[in-house]
A and B are shown apart, each in its own frame.
Chain A
Amino acid sequence: MNPGDGSNAVALLYLSYTGDRATKMATRFLSLIAFLLAVVFAPMIGTSAALAQDDFAAQVNALGPGSFSDREKAMNVLVATGDERVPPVLHALSDGDLDTRTADGKVLFASKVGSDFALKDPVDGTDLGTAPSADIEKVKSNNGLRGKIRTAIGKMTLLSPDGAARLSAAQNVLKNADPAMLELIDQALATEADPKIKSTMELARAVIVLKTEGTLEAKRAAVETVTSHGDRAAQNVLINNLAGAPDELKPLIQSGIDRLNSELAIWDVGQNLLYGISLSSVLLLAAIGLAITFGVMGVINMAHGEMVMLGAYTTYAVQLLLQAVAPGLMEYSLAFAVPAAFLFTALVGVAIERGIIRWLYGRPLETLLATWGLSLVLQQAVRTIFGPTNKPVTPPTWMSGTFDLWNLSFTWNRLWIIVFAIAVFAILQIILNRTPLGLQMRAVTQNRRMASAMGIRTPFVDAMTFALGSGIAGLAGVALSQIDNVSPNLGQGYIIDSFMVVVFGGVGNLWGTLVGALTLGVANKFLEPYAGAVLAKIVILVLIIVFIQRRPRGLFALKGRAIES
């Protein structure tokens, strides 16, 4: 039978005696059952597992008493088990977070909570409550022991079957550059198959070689290895080793640093470009609907940002609905949110067009004011319904996290938004160039009266155009809900930027909007490292103001007599 379970039962019995009289009988009865259960089930759970558990606990407890050399022996026993629970124990020992409970000599994790210590069992990770500092005693370690601990941990983790553990161990070695680890690293390198872990290990090995007394040849090879690594960390390694290196090696290291500098500059350009394209895709999504309504109808829709916001809230509402109805489909909520947001905002768009904008055609400035008023009403309505706080929209798993592409790091959701923006742009181009509705829209854009005379129902085309523009804004809202806070003010943050894109690109041509969004997004990200985010934005705004002076109708202006009005 298992003595541990037995002692639990004894403890329960003991507790039952200290309990008050009213509950005494019940407690005693329960503890009797517990004792019986322990007796009956302990052998059935599996004696060997229980014994191993017990052994491990005893081995951990052996760290507590005795001198440093006893502790080292106990540690070696632990390391020899190869148990995955060992490294945390050793880390705790090294950091001074391992304590002995004076009452029973049990060794456990202790972390300070207020004036007391929170205790945790290193064997099975259970919470053991808190204890005052008088009840526990720290398991002491010294520098010699700490060095050995580090080696031991490295040994356990560098050769661990778990890839993530090996990677973090290799990074640890790289950080500490402990010469004692050289042998271990070589051993690990021989068997390592994962290229990423292998390259980190090679870098770590090179760093150790540079630090230790080795042959010049070995060091030269190490410098080459580090240089070929080609990232910021490698450059830092070289810079740190430049001063301490032998004179023969210095030119090589210096040239390595310079080479890395130029390489990194190129990567920086690539990274900025990637960020710029990401920002451009967001701008494009936000602005393209505006470009359609402005281009075709000459309507400045100040409530466009609120359409984006409504799209984001639709995404949130779809998520709430799915959570209640079909939680299994949560992962695919975006597949429902995209059409829902498009339809909902398109319907709101039709209502706005038929209710307000229709009466204001030919008076663009009045339209601007009325739609601004509408944007205030919509914002306040959303605030009344959903509250003023940010709403959480959980991204699906395939959209979360980051990935590395060579030396560039990027997040999945940004990448998907770029893909989404391209898809929306392509579909819009098809609608405008290949469908009857698109043909009519272009006709109305170019010459409204002539189109009307040819039998096109311009009011219908207006309503459809506005619905399309608003629907696209709703789609932008779905995308923005993944990267921005879903709040009633969501749209306001994008409206001025969207206007800048449209004005810069010129109306009547979606390519203008695309070029406008790309230019502004990329220019913004390239200015940011030099000027800071706010100043970059100011510079862009000023540049647009200046640009408009040169080309008052944007980059891709419509030409023809009908435009002069």
Chain B
Amino acid sequence: MITQLLFRALDRKAIWLVAALVFIAIAVPVANLWIPEGNPLYLPNYAVPLFGKYLNYALLALALDLVWGYCGILSLGHAAFFSLGGYAMGMYLMRQIGARGVYANPVLPDFMVFLNYKDLPWFWNGFDLWWFAFIMVLFVPGLLAFGFGWFAFRSRVTGVYLSIITQAMTYALLLAFFRNDLGLGGNNGLTDFKDILGFNVQAPATRATLFALSALFLALGVIICSAIVNSKLGKVMVAVRDGESRTRFLGWRPENVKLFAFVVSAMLAGVAGALYVPQVGIINPGEFDPGNSIEAVIWVAVGGRGTIIGPIVGAVLVNAGKSVFTGAFPDFWLYCLGGLFIFVTLFMPKGIVGLFARVRARKGKEASSAAESGEDPTTLNNSTKSLGKPEPAE
């Protein structure tokens, strides 16, 4: 059955995408570690975690696309799931520092010694074990998403109201994590990591491995997401997106479908955050900022929501653009980002992927071959009209 599911999951596009990601997972470490410096194919050390970061953002965008693009839930709180996964990984990494901290306390991390903690807070227990921490990376965001979604979807909080309360959730967490007495480093967050699974986080080989893992987990995310959207459940998700009441009257339980998508999405976001932290070397409450969540939404919108490849393309392009722009013209980045938001929503409702699909559809028409019309069950045909209020008469 699982092979059957996998078989169905991997349509031709997904296979290509997974193959490309596996190729990147091998090629980038090779280009960094084994190709000598000076060779045009050589990749400098700083680029590896940078590219890794893009892939983590891509996984976050993919997770968001699963709920927004396929299920119609615009979550403005995915930064919270991302950061919680990151904090779970950060706590593991903090425990690995051991007595090598500034205060050389074998158990307590530096900030706790500084804040006069006598014992480890209870929720830090177990984070010295890698398997426990890795389970928590999935469990904590999943639990929050389950609790939040259980109540919200059951009460039929939808549309803009849901978006606003997800934003309130991440804002509340932002404020909470800024507090020193929460026991998670307060303002400064968790940083100064030394080892991960016994390997130095700063070493090029470790960073290359983390990059490869980022690419492979993204590939795994692609497989999971396309398995979901190509299954019967995926069809119901799209149905919930396009007409929730109608789906309910047909006998489905939209709240359960939404809850499933929301929890899976939160877990994927958590994994993205967990891979992000050792590559960036810090996690602090700023990651919870509601602005980050909205930025992730724009990656999805730029790439094309309701597609598997769209959010990945969008996340990598926007973030690469951000790296280039903030370096070259720091004052203009916000103009570009803001302009991008407006431009994409006004003129490219289906994103870059939608643009390609339209070009291909036109070509197909010119050749008058109906077979190549690029009919994708997941594109947003007419979905916008069924959302929200009727259009004003112009």
Q: A residues touching B (Cβ–Cβ < 8 Å)? A: 298, 300, 302, 356, 359-370, 372-381, 383-384, 448-449, 452, 458-459, 462, 496, 499-500, 503, 534-535, 537-538, 541-542, 544-546, 548-550, 552-553, 565
Of residues 153 through 179 on chain B, the ones whose CB sits less than 8 Å from some CB of chain A are 154-161, 163-165, 167-169, 171-172, 175-176, 178-179
For A302, the chain B residues whose CB sits under 8 A away are 294
CA distance A376 to B179 in the complex (A): 27
For B152, the chain A residues whose CB sits under 8 A away are 548-549
For A535, the chain B residues whose CB sits under 8 A away are 179
One of B220-228, B258-266, B309-317, B337-345 at the interface = B337-345
Contact B390 A448 (CB under 8 A): yes
For B164, the chain A residues whose CB sits under 8 A away are 300, 499-500, 503
The residue that B346 contacts in the complex, of A356, A362, A545, with Cβ under 8 A, is A356
* Nearest chain B residue, comparing its CB with the CB of A544: B168
The residue that B331 contacts in the complex, of A366, A380, A459, A541, with Cβ under 8 A, is A380
* Nearest chain A residue, comparing its CB with the CB of B155: A549
Nearest CB in chain B: distance from A390 CB, A: 19
CA distance A499 to B171 in the complex (A): 12
CA distance A362 to B341 in the complex (A): 18
A458 and B178 in contact, given A360-B345, A374-B338 (Cβ under 8 angstroms): no
Within 8 Å of chain A (Cβ to Cβ): is B198?
Answer: no
CA distance A534 to B171 in the complex (A): 11
Contact B161 A362 (CB under 8 A): no
CA distance A534 to B178 in the complex (A): 9
CA distance A369 to B176 in the complex (A): 26
A452 and B392 in contact, given A356-B342, A380-B335, A550-B155 (Cβ under 8 angstroms): yes
For A356, the chain B residues whose CB sits under 8 A away are 342, 346
Contact A366 B155 (CB under 8 A): no
A369 and B345 in contact, given A362-B388, A362-B391 (Cβ under 8 angstroms): yes
Contact A373 B159 (CB under 8 A): no
Contact A370 B341 (CB under 8 A): yes
Known: A459-B393, A552-B155. 4 other contacts (CB 8 A): A298-B388, A360-B345, A362-B390, A365-B159
30 contacts between A and B (CB under 8 A): A298-B160, A359-B346, A361-B391, A362-B384, A362-B390, A363-B387, A364-B387, A367-B345, A368-B160, A369-B345, A370-B345, A373-B298, A373-B340, A374-B338, A374-B341, A374-B342, A376-B334, A379-B334, A381-B335, A496-B168, A500-B164, A534-B175, A541-B171, A541-B175, A545-B169, A546-B151, A549-B151, A549-B157, A552-B157, A553-B161
Within 8 Å of chain A (Cβ to Cβ): is B290?
Answer: yes
Q: B residues touching A (Cβ–Cβ < 8 Å)? A: 74, 148, 151-152, 154-161, 163-165, 167-169, 171-172, 175-176, 178-179, 290, 294, 297-298, 301, 331, 334-335, 337-342, 344-346, 349, 384-385, 387-394
* Nearest chain B residue, comparing its CB with the CB of A550: B155
Nearest CB in chain B: distance from A466 CB, A: 12
* Nearest chain A residue, comparing its CB with the CB of B346: A359
For A458, the chain B residues whose CB sits under 8 A away are 392-393
CA distance A462 to B392 in the complex (A): 9
Tell me the number of A-to-B contacts counted with CB atoms below 8 Å.
156
For A376, the chain B residues whose CB sits under 8 A away are 334-335, 337-338, 341
For B387, the chain A residues whose CB sits under 8 A away are 362-365
CA distance A452 to B389 in the complex (A): 14
For B340, the chain A residues whose CB sits under 8 A away are 373
Contact A373 B341 (CB under 8 A): yes
A542 and B172 in contact, given A448-B390, A499-B167 (Cβ under 8 angstroms): yes
Nearest CB in chain B: distance from A326 CB, A: 35
Nearest CB in chain A: distance from B144 CB, A: 12
Contact A548 B165 (CB under 8 A): yes
For B335, the chain A residues whose CB sits under 8 A away are 376-377, 380-381
Contact B388 A370 (CB under 8 A): no
CA distance A129 to B69 in the complex (A): 75
The residue that A503 contacts in the complex, of B154, B161, B346, with Cβ under 8 A, is B161
For B394, the chain A residues whose CB sits under 8 A away are 459
CA distance A367 to B341 in the complex (A): 10
CA distance A553 to B157 in the complex (A): 8
Contact B331 A384 (CB under 8 A): yes
Contact B297 A369 (CB under 8 A): yes
Contact B345 A449 (CB under 8 A): no
A503 and B392 in contact, given A376-B338, A380-B338 (Cβ under 8 angstroms): no
Nearest CB in chain A: distance from B295 CB, A: 9
CA distance A366 to B342 in the complex (A): 9
CA distance A550 to B290 in the complex (A): 24
Residue among B74, B342, B384, B387 with the most chain A CB within 10 A?
A: B342
